[in-house]
A = this chain, B = another copy of it.
Amino acid sequence: MSEHSLMVAMRDPKYTKELIDETALRLFVEKGIAETTIRDISSAAGIAEGTLYRHYVSKEHLAWELFSKNFTAFAVELDQLHRKHDTLKAKIDATIRHYCTFFDKDPILFSYLLLELHGQLRKVTPDMPNPVTVLRRFIGEGMARGEIPRKDREIAAAMVLGVVLHVAVSKVYGRTKQSLTALADSIVAAAWRVLEA
Residues of A bordering B, CB below 8 Å: 32-35, 115, 118-119, 121, 151-152, 154-155, 157-159, 161-163, 165-167, 169-170, 173, 176, 178, 183, 186-187, 189-190, 193-194, 197
Tell me whether A155 and B170 are in contact (CB under 8 A): no
Tell me whether B157 and A190 are in contact (CB under 8 A): no
Residues of B within 8 A of A193 (CB): 193-194, 197
Tell me whether B34 and A152 are in contact (CB under 8 A): no
Residues of B within 8 A of A115 (CB): 118
A-B contact pairs, 15 of them (CB 8 A): A34-B35, A35-B119, A118-B173, A154-B170, A154-B176, A154-B178, A154-B186, A155-B163, A155-B167, A155-B183, A158-B163, A158-B167, A162-B166, A190-B197, A193-B197
Residues of B within 8 A of A158 (CB): 163, 166-167, 169-170
Among B118, B159, B170, B189, contact of A163 (Cβ-Cβ < 8 Å): B159
Compute how far the CA of A169 lies from the CA of B183 in the bound complex, rounded to whole angstroms. 23
Among B159, B165, B189, B197, contact of A197 (Cβ-Cβ < 8 Å): B189
Instruction: List the B residue with the shortest CB-CB distance to A190.
Output: B194
Compute how far the CA of A166 lies from the CA of B194 in the bound complex, rounded to whole angstroms. 14
Tell me whether B183 and A170 are in contact (CB under 8 A): no
Q: Within the complex, what minimum Cβ distance (angstroms) separates A126 from chain B? A: 13
Residues of B within 8 A of A121 (CB): 173
Q: Known interface pairs A157-B170, A166-B161. Does A186 touch B152 (Cβ–Cβ under 8 Å)?
A: yes
Instruction: List the B residue with the shortest CB-CB distance to A164.
Output: B162
Compute how far the CA of A115 lies from the CA of B152 in the bound complex, rounded to whole angstroms. 26
Compute how far the CA of A39 lies from the CA of B176 in the bound complex, rounded to whole angstroms. 41
Compute how far the CA of A162 lies from the CA of B186 in the bound complex, rounded to whole angstroms. 15
Q: Known interface pairs A162-B167, A193-B194. Does A187 touch B155 (Cβ–Cβ under 8 Å)?
A: yes
Tell me whether B166 and A159 are in contact (CB under 8 A): yes
Residues of B within 8 A of A35 (CB): 34, 119
